Amino acid sequence: MAAALECWSGRPSTDEETVEHVLMKPHGRSDDSLPTCADSARAAGEPTPTPTPAPPKKWQRLGRNFAGAIAAFKNTLNLDGGGGGSGLPRDPSPRAEKPPPLLLRGLAQLYSRGAANQQLPEKLVADLRRHFDALPNSYAQAGYDMKDVLLHARLAEQATGEDQPAVNIEEVHGRGSCEEGTVFQLTFACTAPLSWQSMSGSLDSPSFCCKKIQIFEKRGLTLGVVMILVQTGNEALFKNQVESALKSVVKKQRKNSGGVKLPFGLCGCQEEGSRNFDEESMFDPDDGRVLDNEPAHRPQLPTPLPQASVFVSVDEWQTIRSGGEELGRWMLRSEEIEFVDWFGANSFRGVYKGKKVWVNKLRGCDMGSAYDVEIRQDLLQLMSCGQRNILQLHGVCFSENHGLCIVTRMMEGGSVHDILVQRNKRLSLRDTVRIALDVADAMAFMNGYGIAYRDLNARKILLDRQGNACLGDMGIVTPCSNVGEVTEYETSGYRWLAPEIIAGDPETVSETWMSNVYSYGMVLWEMITGEEAYSTYSPVQAAVGIAACGLRPEIPRDCPPFLRSLMNRCWDSSPLKRPQFSEITSILQRQNVR
């Protein structure tokens, strides 16, 4: 396990990274080309010495070969100003002159696999170009492999021709174990607006669990890619039920003349009503509580909330070059924010519209630097929907003096970690249960919309002046340059991670409500003991112990029985046996703690 973890953090660069360098396009690496940890471990155990790395000249030749192939491919598309090549006729529109980067990269891969003296079929190029044009920009930014794009194009063509949903269900190998079930990828296309809320209602079953949802809609075409965990023994039932549910939902949607629109422009559609929501009216500035008229103001979010991102490009003058128009009301002007004083290495105390706020600078996105960032639209909605146990977001700001800043409500009580570690205080049983209940409410709310919290720990739980808790730092903004780098999440964050997340492939594994429950149990233990989990272990030692040896913290003898039982259930090695947050909330609400 230790060797695997070292292999993870020290991954070498791959051939595909060289291709991307030649293309000068910052896309993610393909899973197929990555060396696995198991391969590295086997190589380490062989008696023969490990081959020495290839000399730089070999990589230079490889780069020149790919550069030549790409140049020839560009000639087939007739992208250059010159008239050479027998590619497609030149389209005078700007969109046609510059194909989506994923299309360019994928076709270059197809070209490099074929004969050097052959050109790509014009029909293939034209069909793929039409496929990208028929879907919103977020689809081109999702980073699908070319084989997935070809599947999506085939399903879209089939759905258009037959005027009924086209469905493809396939098992995703390497995701999920025999203990927790099988992960299937559901891909569908239809020519009617589709509400995943009604779709998930038709699939409501304890045997199914959605892990990731992506839905793209534009001009009447809907494309969905959903990862679903199915308990062992229910595979046949799932396949039959999902096809009938999809056809039934699409049939109902066509009877509604207006269709269903997703708010905030998710996946290419908008609902203007969601932008009229005034988050400032939701909170009492004196005590930070949500006012009684909360249900009347809270926007209606689709369930589950489709995951969608905006990619924003900023120059060294902090001028947005692309992507800013999709942020809408979450874009704040720098003159609207008053920077009062420093608070920590990358934070300010500030004032926005007469209210005290936190202004957090994003590292690597400073003044004088050009950068690209990914902003999660679904998390923007969650953090501004008015749920009292989720940190209130005012918006993001690109300041010429401070770079990229995230503006949130000020939580003057600090974090639970500050109280336990820095101030060296013990929480009373009453405060522990109250904070735990607030966190469980927030997690149940997030998980109810199909979103898992990333890296839940005591540092992420913030308190106001009255001690009310909320979840903060959801990671709504990620610098694109950080993709593939080892972050704090992958080092000291091991102490709170579930064993299935630690042992999984970092390129594909993602948190679920079940891993959130495990981390919640760790936070509960820290609040009860007043100590930091596994403080005598290094991060790697803790990771190996948790994932391979069943390591769990020792619960104090004086711990109340209901909390002892709850923590043990949260730490169950089988993710499906862990309690859901709705059950955790019920357990804590029944306790009469004074």
Strand pairing partners for 414? 463
Strand pairing partners for 492? none
| Average pLDDT of the residues in 268-272 | 32
In this predicted model, what pLDDT tens digit does every residue of 135-194 receive, in sequence order? Answer: 887 787 777 888 888 899 888 888 887 667 888 888 887 654 445 678 888 898 888 666
Q: What is the largest CA-CA distance in the chain?
A: 82
Q: Indicate the pLDDT class of residue 468, thresholds 50, 70 and 90.
A: very high
Residue 39 has pLDDT above 80, yes or no: no
- Answer for the pair 496, 522: CB distance below 8 angstroms, yes or no: yes
Q: Which residue has the higher pLDDT, 54 or 423?
A: 423
Q: Is 441 exposed, middle or buried (0-12, 13-18, 19+ CB in 10 A)?
A: buried
The one-letter amino acid code at 361 reads K
Long-range contacts, stretch 537-541, CB < 8 angstroms, 24+ apart: 539/491, 539/492, 539/493, 539/494, 539/495, 540/2, 540/5, 540/6, 540/494
The H or E element that residue 501 is part of is: helix 499-503
8-state DSSP, 187: E
Which range has highest mean pLDDT (69-73, 272-276, 544-548)? Answer: 544-548
Domains of the chain: 14-25+61-133 (no CATH), 147-261 (3.30.70), 282-410 (3.30.200.20), 412-594 (1.10.510.10)
Q: Which two tokens stand for residue 514?
A: 């079940």
Q: Which residue has the higher pLDDT, 328 or 569?
A: 569
How far is it, in rounded angstroms, from Cα 101 to Cα 303?
31
Q: Indicate the pLDDT class of residue 500, thresholds 50, 70 and 90.
A: very high
Which residues are CB-contacts of 477 (< 8 A; sequence separation ≥ 6)? 362, 373, 374, 375, 376, 396, 404, 406
Order of strands, edge to edge, in the sheet holding 414-415? 414-415, 461-463, 469-471
Q: Indicate the pLDDT class of residue 20, thresholds 50, 70 and 90.
A: very low
Residue 310's pLDDT is 85
In this predicted model, what pLDDT tens digit does every residue of 378-424 receive, in sequence order? Answer: 898 889 888 899 999 999 988 888 888 999 999 988 899 988 887 77
Residue 233 Ramachandran class (φ > 0 left, ψ -120 to 50 alpha, else beta):
left
- Answer for the pair 582, 441: CB distance below 8 angstroms, yes or no: no
Q: Which residue has the higher pLDDT, 53 or 165?
A: 165
Q: What angle do CA 245, 248, 251 make, to 5 degrees?
A: 150
Residue 34 has pLDDT above 60, yes or no: no
Q: Pick the closest to residue 416 from 356, 359, 372, 458 (CA basis).
A: 458
| Average pLDDT of the residues in 107-131 | 64
What's the pTM?
0.52
Cα-flanking dihedrals φ and ψ of residue 463, to 5°? -125, 145
In the chain, what are the helix, strand and coil shares in percent, each to the nearest 5?
45, 15, 40
CA distances from 34 to 16, 17, 222, 498, 507 (A): 9, 10, 31, 24, 9
Q: Which two tokens stand for residue 469?
A: 């808790």
